[in-house]
Structure 1
Amino acid sequence: MRNRLPLDVAERAGWTGVQAALGILITELADISLWWAAPAALVLGSAKSWVAGRLGRKGTGSTLPESADPATPPNITFPA
């Protein structure tokens, strides 16, 4: 069995960076205090997880395919 943890870590780090950058962009475009970037990123992260739970790996907030997601137990497949 191959180690899927590096993919999971890369996915989480990548999405966190995107959400933080978008949070900062939103505060800049709205011309509001930078302190609002964290709540904006939190909302974006929650929205991403909600969408991923319906479109990506079912039952998780992961956007990784089932074969690469560490939440998938080995040798078990889930119905689509």
Structure 2
Amino acid sequence: MSNRLVFDAAERVLWTGAQASLGVLVTDLAGLPMWWAAPVALALATGKSWVAGRLGRLGTASTLPASKDPATPSTTYGP
């Protein structure tokens, strides 16, 4: 497995875990039924993607730097 793929998978796992945890925390603190955790996490994921699309690598929702993002084309040398 390439390093870029590992970084991409790790980024997705970490963001998903953070969004799910925050969804549960927000619904618990607000006293809402637990089924609200999924829509809250979805809203967080949408917001994160929007921000990352403007601050991260342009054209993607990745927060990885271009050198680690699998969407970045590889540089080739020679003819």
Length-normalised TM-score, structure 1: 0.89
Count of aligned positions: 75
TM (norm. structure 2) is 0.91
TM-align CA RMSD: 1.2
Q: Which has the larger radius of gyration?
A: 2
- How far apart, in 2, do the equivalents of 1:40 and 1:31 lie? 13
Q: Specify the alignment match of 1:36 in structure 2.
A: 36
Q: Residues 1-80 of structure 1: matches in 2 within 5 Å?
A: 3-75=3-75
Gaps of 5+ in 2: none
Distance in 1 (CA, whole Å) between partners of 2:3 and 2:11 is: 14
SS in 1 for 2:65: coil
Matches of 2:3 and 2:28 in 1, distance apart? 40
Unaligned regions of 5+ residues in structure 1, if any? Answer: none
AA at the equivalent of 2:57: R
Identical positions, percent: 64
Q: 1:73 & 1:10 partners in 2: Cα distance?
A: 20
> Could you tell me how far apart the structure 1 residues matched to 2:3 and 2:14 are?
19
